[in-house]
């Protein structure tokens, strides 16, 4: 058996461990049920790759002694899974050498640490998957027979000779430049101007420091700045990276998130986030935009949400650690998928930041119910997400049919508006007389 080498994939200096209550429902664990202000153990986390295996180790901060370990064979899976109400906490399955297991909760004070853990886990298992595919392709390919056949010989000539058998003169070597001469400069690598990374000046970075606690998503900046439009054309690096991120979204879709670039400019992306279950946003569809800079991924994108939601200001730059408000905290390894997952997680929390609204839960539920009709009335949404029209239109009609019978005329009007938005993208537009006949028929059916 070949010796397996250990490689450290990630180290975090502080992690909190909690005893967790038994799982009461099938919807998953909630960190709110734990005693978050009184962790049962605090130490260091180390994520170690051992060959194809992955192991999360909990160690003492000072001595580095092993406290417990969590072998991970899949992510997400039973070995480690995120909680439903926060992006900073997980439930892990500890396992000792005797095979005994125990489920505990763990989490980080900084959301950036949990984000790094998610990325490290995903990268490891994607690497294993790609390696397995490469091994299959290599095994299926015919092997080349490069051995000498019986009686086969080869000739090797060392050095060149002239026609008369004498050694040919060697090729002259280039002479160094004379003293005082200029040193020729090599041409810059292709695309070097596109990957030059700038350092923010003190004037640019003022008011952009982390608050006490190190929460990367809780950063304050100039409030309520309008959302920008794409500027310039993408560099070759940015275009390749965004195309690759789009292909990843198609091959590995994210539950509750849909995103795609604008065909006219790949720097502008449109997304839809579906409200999470057991939250005030359940049943809502929230439409927004990402605007990337021409030198992405070296600079972060601008993020906004357009659908009224009660959590974020609309058509306003959001102040997040993954947005252009804080280039000093940006990681070029973060993909479009990671950005949208972070935004979705932050939406479900109550952390304050610039561009955030503190509406009550009843108001947010009202926004969730109205979001479908709002999206159907938005031309950009209808153009970018035609596949969602049936789902949103059906949900709108179903929700309206559950109201009191006294609101029949109002329901008929809502139904006409929803159907009109769907019909103009399914069939050719009808003449005015035909539309009037349809309205009369629907009103008579409702009565």
Work out the pLDDT band at 441, boundaries 50, 70, 90: very low
With a cut of 50, say whether residue 244 has pLDDT above it. Answer: yes
Work out the pLDDT band at 415, boundaries 50, 70, 90: very low
Q: Region 175-192: what's the mean pLDDT?
A: 47
Tokens (6 digits) for 321: 């650690």
> Given this model, what pLDDT does residue 176 score?
53
319 is catalytic: yes
| Cβ contacts of 68 within 8 Å, gap of 6 or more | 57, 58, 94, 96
Q: Between residues 121 and 140, which one has the greater pLDDT?
A: 121
Q: What is the pLDDT of residues 71-113, one digit of tens each?
A: 998 887 889 999 988 889 999 999 999 999 999 999 999 888 8
> Given this model, what pLDDT does residue 169 score?
61
Alpha-helix residue ranges (DSSP H) falling in 163-209: 202-205
With a cut of 70, say whether residue 200 has pLDDT above it. Answer: no
Whole-number average pLDDT of the chain: 77
Helix (H) or strand (E) holding 95: strand 89-95
> Given this model, what pLDDT does residue 226 score?
63
Q: Between residues 187 and 244, which one has the greater pLDDT?
A: 244
- DSSP labels, 377-407: T-HHHHHH-GGGHHHHHHHHHHHHHTS-GGG
Q: How many CB atoms lie within 10 A of CB 19?
A: 13
Q: pLDDT > 70: what percent of the chain?
A: 71
Work out the pLDDT band at 257, boundaries 50, 70, 90: very high
> Given this model, what pLDDT does residue 363 score?
95
Work out the pLDDT band at 417, boundaries 50, 70, 90: very low
With a cut of 70, say whether residue 447 has pLDDT above it. Answer: no
> Given this model, what pLDDT does residue 374 score?
94
Work out the pLDDT band at 414, boundaries 50, 70, 90: very low
> Given this model, what pLDDT does residue 242 score?
94
With a cut of 60, say whether residue 442 has pLDDT above it. Answer: no
Q: Which of 79, 106, 304, 319 is catalytic?
A: 319
Range from 251-255, 274-278, 296-300, 424-428 carrying the lowest mean pLDDT: 424-428
Work out the pLDDT band at 307, boundaries 50, 70, 90: very high
Q: What is the pLDDT of residues 312-365, one digit of tens each?
A: 999 888 888 888 888 888 888 899 999 999 899 889 888 777 778 889 999 999
With a cut of 90, say whether residue 416 has pLDDT above it. Answer: no
> Given this model, what pLDDT does residue 173 score?
59
Q: How far is CA 367 from CA 269, 314, 372, in A?
A: 23, 12, 9
With a cut of 70, say whether residue 383 has pLDDT above it. Answer: yes
What is the spatial distance between Cα 326 and Cα 211, in angstroms, rounded to a whole number?
13
With a cut of 60, say whether residue 58 has pLDDT above it. Answer: yes
Q: What is the pLDDT of residues 60-70, one digit of tens each?
A: 998 989 999 99
| Cβ contacts of 162 within 8 Å, gap of 6 or more | 168
Q: Region 203-220: what's the mean pLDDT?
A: 39
Q: Between residues 392 and 35, which one has the greater pLDDT?
A: 35
Q: Between residues 443 and 375, which one has the greater pLDDT?
A: 375
Closest residue by Cα to residue 396 from 285, 305, 310: 285
């Amino acid at each position: 058996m070949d010796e397996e080498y250990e490689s450290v994939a990630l180290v975090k200096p502080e992690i909190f461990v909690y005893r967790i209550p038994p799982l009461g429902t099938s919807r998953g664990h909630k960190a709110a049920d734990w005693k978050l202000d009184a962790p049962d153990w605090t130490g260091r986390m180390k994520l170690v790759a051992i060959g194809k295996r992955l192991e999360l180790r909990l160690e003492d901060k000072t001595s580095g002694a092993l406290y417990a370990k969590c072998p991970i064979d899949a992510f997400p899976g039973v070995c480690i899974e995120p909680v439903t109400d926060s992006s900073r906490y997980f439930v892990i399955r500890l396992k000792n050498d005797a095979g005994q297991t125990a489920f505990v909760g763990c989490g980080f004070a900084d959301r950036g640490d949990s984000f790094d853990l998610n990325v490290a886990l995903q990268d490891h298992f994607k690497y294993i998957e790609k390696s397995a595919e490469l091994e299959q392709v290599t095994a299926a390919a015919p092997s080349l027979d490069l051995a000498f056949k019986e009686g086969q010989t080869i000739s090797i000539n060392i050095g060149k000779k002239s026609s008369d058998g004498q050694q040919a003169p060697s090729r002259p070597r280039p002479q160094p430049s004379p003293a005082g001469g200029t040193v020729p400069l090599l041409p810059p690598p292709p695309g070097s101007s596109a990957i030059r990374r700038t350092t923010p000046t003190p004037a640019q970075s003022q008011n952009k420091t982390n608050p006490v606690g190190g929460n990367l998503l809780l950063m304050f900046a100039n409030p309520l700045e309008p959302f920008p439009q794409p500027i310039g054309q993408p560099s070759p690096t940015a275009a390749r990276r965004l195309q690759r991120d789009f292909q990843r979204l198609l091959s590995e879709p994210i539950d509750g998130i849909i995103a795609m670039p604008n065909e006219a400019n790949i720097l502008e992306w449109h997304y839809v986030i579906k409200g999470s279950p057991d939250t005030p946003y359940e049943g809502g569809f929230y439409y927004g935009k990402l605007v990337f800079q021409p030198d992405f991924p070296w600079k972060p994108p601008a993020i906004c949400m357009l659908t009224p939601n009660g959590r974020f200001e609309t058509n306003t730059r959001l102040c997040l650690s993954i947005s252009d408000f804080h280039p000093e905290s940006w990681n070029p390894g973060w993909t479009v998928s990671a950005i949208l997952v972070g935004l979705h997680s932050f939406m479900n929390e109550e952390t304050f930041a610039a561009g955030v609204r503190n509406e009550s839960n009843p108001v947010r539920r009202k926004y969730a119910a109205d979001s479908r009709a709002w999206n159907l009335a938005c031309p950009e949404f209808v153009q970018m997400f035609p596949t969602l029209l049936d789902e949103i239109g059906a949900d709108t009609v179903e929700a309206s049919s559950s109201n009191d019978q006294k609101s029949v005329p109002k329901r008929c009007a809502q139904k006409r508006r929803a159907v009109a938005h769907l019909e103009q993208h399914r069939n050719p537009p009808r003449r005015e007389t035909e539309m009037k006949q349809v309205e009369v028929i629907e009103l008579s059916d409702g009565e």
